[in-house]
Amino acid sequence: MSGATTSLELSVAATACRLRPEQWQRVRIVLVALALFGWVTSAWGWSQDTQQFHASYLVSFLYVATIGLGATLFVAIQHLTTAAWSVTSRRLMESIMITVLAAPALFIPVIRGLDVLYRWAQPGFFDPDDPNVAFKRVFFSPTFYESRMVVYFVVWCVLAWLLYQGSVGQDRHGGSMAAVVKLRRWSGPGVAALFVTVTSAAVDWVMSLEPYWYSTVFGIYVFAGGAVAFVAAIIILALGLRALGYLREWIHVEHYHDWGKWLFALSVFWAYLAYSQYMLMWYANLPEETAWYQVRLNGSWRWVSLTLAAGHFGVPFLGLMARRAKRSLPWLGAIAGWMLLMHWVDLHWLVMPTVHEHGFHLHWLDLSTWLAVGATAALVGWWVMGRHPLVPAGDLRLAESLEHHNE
């Protein structure tokens, strides 16, 4: 590729950049084995402790779904802003994004266990004579709830599919301004729809675990956490492929530097939202709001809360502030891996106090459901990664992206 001077040669070099079939096959076998192991053990766990299964499963599902949705947001924003720097890593973003297609199927165990986890789903939970819960009674009625779920999944899958097809279409037919404009057109309304649906889903899936608690910023907080985890995931994915000998010239230190900036900026943004919510509730000290923090600041949950503040904010903030830190690939990889762990801690902290009020409690189902959901989603991403070049070969900005450097 270093010899490529014309767009044609560059495009040819990009098209040739594919996963080697035997390597693809090997990873696929590993993923299938992990998924099978995860599903079988989780199923057994479900028969043993239904409530624990559903809580663990919800965390795992959210983990995968938020990363996929973070990827969808990122891909759409790249098209919307006609970004050049990120073009060489966009196919990896798209591979993470496409795992969203698995979300509707992966959601089945969640909806099957609604009444186990969500108190509002238990019959007769809301007093029909209480005017203050009249809105919630309608909002959480099965029909309305289920139609919302359908809307979410349709919006996400259609958007991910359109963005994906528009990009791989350029591999085959070559890039054109028409394709650029088309992708940008989908991305504008796409980002808007994504914001509304994801934040609303966060209310339905996470906030409503505590049926009387509310916070207006909550949806954005969950989405921001997903965006952080997505950036961490793409860094890990790119570094993993690099270790296997792929993409070394395509995604170079200048690109990693920018991904490092994103990881830094988004984890600060996440902390900003977390702090806004916490400080305002602490300050106002209203019992209906502080109850949520009360559980999380007592017993061993207190330590999880502190870990989250230090690990989800302090570590990337101090660890990625220096330019040199963002440009050191082993260091960046270590922080990214740490942030993937922190995203899990964040979701665990959001969900688990519902079932383990008195303290942090790690269960083996946390791992097995994570393996089941994670490996299944990874299989979807890996599947499509094997079918296309690892860089968007037809993209008009390929050369510009390759030349990218931080002044």
Partner 1 sequence: MAEVVLHSGGLNPPLVEGPTSFARITDDVCRIVENKPPRAWYVAMGISVTLTLILGVALYLLFTRGIGVWGNNQPVAWAFDITNFVFWIGIGHAGTLISAILFLFRQRWRTSINRAAEAMTIFAVICAGMFPLIHVGRPWRAYWLFPIPNPYIDMWPNFRSPLIWDVFAVSTYFTVSLLFWYTGLIPDLATLRDRARTKLARWAYGLLSLGWRGSARHWSAYEKAYLLLAGLSTPLVISVHSIVSFDFAVSILPGWHATIFPPYFVAGAIFSGFAMVITLLVIARRVYNLQHLITLHHLDNMNKILLATSLIVGYSYAVEFFTAFFSGNPYERFVFTNRAVGPYAWAIWTMVFCNVVVPQLLWFRRFRRSVPWMFVIAILVNIGMWFERFNIIVTSLHRDFLPSSWGSFRPTVVDFMTLAGSFGLFLTLFLLFLRFLPAVAMAEVKAVLPDGRQEVRA
Out of 15, 41, 215, 298, which residue is the one contacting partner 1 (CB under 8 A)?
Answer: 215
d(CA 87, CA 77): 12
Q: What is the DSSP string of 179-203?
A: HHHHHHHHHHHHHHHHHHHHHHHHH
284 binds partner 1 (CB under 8 A): yes
Instruction: Name which of 390, 70, 69, 84 is nearest 258 in CA terms.
Output: 84
299, 359 contact by CB (below 8 A): yes
Among 121, 217, 297, 309, indicate the residue that binds partner 1 (CB under 8 A).
Answer: 217
Among 125, 186, 212, 293, binds partner 1 (CB under 8 A): 212
Residue 47 makes contact with partner 1 by CB under 8 A: no
Please report whether residue 218 would count as binding partner 1 according to CB under 8 A. Answer: yes
272 binding partner 1? (CB under 8 A): yes
d(CA 317, CA 112): 40
- Please tell me the distance from the alpha carbon of residue 296 to that of residue 299, in angstroms, as a whole number: 8
The Cα-based distances of 88 to 127, 393, 407 in angstroms read 56, 9, 19
Half-sphere exposure of 272 (CA within 13 A, CB side): 9
CB of 6 to partner 1, least distance (A): 6
By beta-carbon proximity to partner 1, the closer residue of 5 and 48 is 5
DSSP letters along 108-163, please?
A: HHHHHTHHHH-GGGSTT-S-TT-GGGHHHHHHTSHHHHHHHHHHHHHHHHHHHHHH
Work out whether 254 is an interface residue with partner 1 (CB under 8 A).
no
Tell me the window of 150-158, 293-301, 334-342, 394-402 that interacts with partner 1 (CB under 8 A): 394-402
Answer for which of 17, 202, 220, 371 binds partner 1 (CB under 8 A) is 220
Among the listed residues 2, 3, 6, 245, the single contact to partner 1 using CB under 8 A: 6
Q: 148: helix, coil or strand? A: helix
With binding defined as CB under 8 A, does residue 229 bind partner 1? no
> Measured from the CB atom, is 60 or 199 closer to partner 1?
199
Residues 136, 148, 252, 327: which binds partner 1 (CB under 8 A)? Answer: 136
Let me know: does 194 contact 69? Beta carbons within 8 Å: yes
List the interface residues with partner 1, window 160-189 (CB under 8 A). 177, 180, 188
Residue placing its CB nearer to partner 1 in the complex, 142 or 188:
188
Choosing from 100, 133, 241, 251, the residue that interacts with partner 1 (CB under 8 A) is 133
Is there binding between residue 280 and partner 1 (CB under 8 A)?
yes
Tell me how far apart the alpha carbons of residues 325 and 319 are, in angstroms, rounded to a whole number: 7
For residues 230 and 232, what is the distance between their CA atoms, to the nearest angstrom? 5
* Contact set with partner 1 (CB under 8 A): 5-7, 10, 82, 84-85, 131-133, 135-136, 139, 177, 180, 188, 192, 195-196, 199, 203, 212, 214-220, 272-273, 276-277, 279-281, 283-286, 288, 396-400, 403, 407
